[in-house]
Amino acid sequence: MKRFTSPIRLSYRISWSSPALFAVSFAALIALGTLCLSLPFAGVDGEGLSFIDALFQSTSAVCVTGLSTVDIGARLTLFGELTIMTLFQLGGLGVMTYSLLLVTLVQKRGSPDQQDWLANVFTGDRRLHPRRMLRWIITMTAVAELVGALVLWLVFVEREGPLRSFYLAIFHSISAFCNAGFSPFSTSLIGYRYNVTVNLTMMALIITGGLGFIVTFELWRWITGHRHWFKLLLQTKLVLSVTALLIASGMLMFLLLEAHNVLKDFSWPSRVLASAFQSVTARTAGFNTVDIGSLTNGTLLVLILLMFIGAGPGSCAGGVKVTTVGVLMLAVLARIRSTAKPQAWSRSVPGDTIARAAALLAGGMMIVMIGTLLLQITELGGLPHSQARGGFLDLLFEATSAWGTVGLSTGITPSLTTAGRCVIICLMFVGRVGPLTLAAILLGRRRRRAEVYYPEEDVMIG
């Protein structure tokens, strides 16, 4: 007798047991990283990080966030930096490989119906074999990070020694592809703000790591002529379209809002380059080539929106994902046009998908608001009313950056209280593990049908 006897029974295990195992594995990796960063030889002064700092840095690395309470380049030894790099490499690929390994395991034991259902749930297309996708993930990651490291090394070697520049190139390449945002440089990439090669290479790595393995696989098949554009998945077209829209709009808004502020001393080509970089990195990467703390309130609000949305599903990035926003945009357009279902590229979006997108968006907003409220209490609770109100936007920015696993900050991270750091730690963990858990629960229940339907009653909306 087989272990799973129905898709419904299988969905229950996928919904609860598997996401729980995923969360536990991330927690165990965080615990191991905390232990390593607490060791005496992890710090340059012969002392490891304090428990709360080690826990914060380990969580930030595993959840590929990039927020830091310490200057990792000045505070950590080579062992400490390598620990951080290992943690964000494993954390960045954890979501993709875990999902595919789970599908491969169940496909060996499940019935044909269960195999077809699982493949459709986790890959979006039953024709994409999990084993093949796992090989693609490993190959794509290795090639992208090696090519990126080689290009960066050719630039870094001009300022650093050959060995030091090689290490920095590998560190930044992995950090960019995994959308981690960590840098041994104290000022991130501000020192290379005018370097076109570094900016374009980092942007290419960030975008590639944030598209998702399904999209990159389909793009490769399209480029090599193995698949026509019109046969690409709706998910691929939606990710590419919304990604391009967000990058372009974010760059334009940054350019306009900061033209007379942080960009006033830049030449026009440098202004465009810096604006494009910040638009790309705000979508869960966390690097910066300008001082985030000096940005205007309008720009910070634009970056908050970009950080909340994030990048593509099945990628190293966080946020509610561009497909969630894309699906909801299609639903709004369908309502405006009075069409029966949201449509795009001769395809209709199922109602269940719209409901899942709305649930993910609402859940994300609720978590960020709760996190911001808690930070208001822990960081501003004892300040006068006038001073406390001035810090609201910084804390909202910090909370969104943590939940979206971005890593950008206005500079308040090192000054957070112990309670505030605990809040950020929880936001980073929930932001990395929570969306996958919620998505798995919602996907696992997609085939359940209520045995009793009650009469419908309309409710006024708006």
Question: Model confidence over 207-222: pLDDT tens digits?
Answer: 999 888 878 888 888 8
Whether 321 shows a pLDDT value over 50: the answer reads: yes
What is the predicted pLDDT for the residue at 449?
Answer: 52
Whether 5 shows a pLDDT value over 60: the answer reads: no
Whether 115 shows a pLDDT value over 70: the answer reads: no
Nearest to 413, CA basis, from 84, 66, 68, 182? 68
Within-domain flag for 457: no
What's the whole-number average pLDDT of the chain? 83
* pLDDT tens-digit map of 85-109: 999 998 887 766 765 654 555 455 4
Which of 15-29, 297-311, 322-336 has the lowest average pLDDT?
15-29
Within-domain flag for 462: no
- N- to C-terminal Cα distance for the chain? 53
Burial label for 5, CB within 10 Å (0-12, 13-18, 19+), is exposed
Within-domain flag for 21: yes
In DSSP notation, 35-63 reads HHHHSGGGBTTS----HHHHHHHHHHHHT
Contact, 147 vs 26, CB < 8 A? Answer: no
What is the predicted pLDDT for the residue at 134?
Answer: 76
Within-domain flag for 450: no
Within-domain flag for 92: yes
* pLDDT tens-digit map of 10-34: 444 444 345 567 778 889 999 999 9
Which of 94-108, 115-129, 242-256 has the lowest average pLDDT?
115-129
Residue 43 dihedral angles phi and psi, to the nearest 5°:
-110, 150
Nearest to 121, CA basis, from 439, 344, 448? 439
What is the predicted pLDDT for the residue at 6?
Answer: 41
> Long-range contacts of range 43-47, CB-CB < 8 Å, 24 or more positions apart?
43/75, 43/76, 43/77, 43/80, 44/74, 44/75, 44/76, 44/77
What is the predicted pLDDT for the residue at 4?
Answer: 41
What is the predicted pLDDT for the residue at 223?
Answer: 84
What is the predicted pLDDT for the residue at 95?
Answer: 63
Residue 127 dihedral angles phi and psi, to the nearest 5°:
-85, -10
Give the residue, 72 or 438, on which the prediction is more confident.
Answer: 72
Within-domain flag for 459: no
**3-class DSSP state of 389:** helix
Within-domain flag for 432: yes
Domain containing residue 356: 7-444
Contact, 364 vs 435, CB < 8 A? Answer: yes
The pair of three-digit structure tokens given for residue 363, joined into one six-digit string? 């859940």
The pair of three-digit structure tokens given for residue 166, joined into one six-digit string? 């090689």
What is the predicted pLDDT for the residue at 258?
Answer: 95
Within-domain flag for 452: no
pTM for the predicted model, two decimal places: 0.86
Q: Which residue has the tokens 């993930």?
A: 137
What is the predicted pLDDT for the residue at 245?
Answer: 94
Q: How many domains does the chain have?
A: 1
* pLDDT tens-digit map of 149-162: 999 999 999 888 88
pLDDT bucket at 384, cuts 50 / 70 / 90: low
User: d(Cα 346, Cα 337) in Å, to the nearest integer?
Assistant: 16
C-alpha distances (whole Å) from 139 to each of 135, 142, 146, 453 are: 6, 5, 11, 49
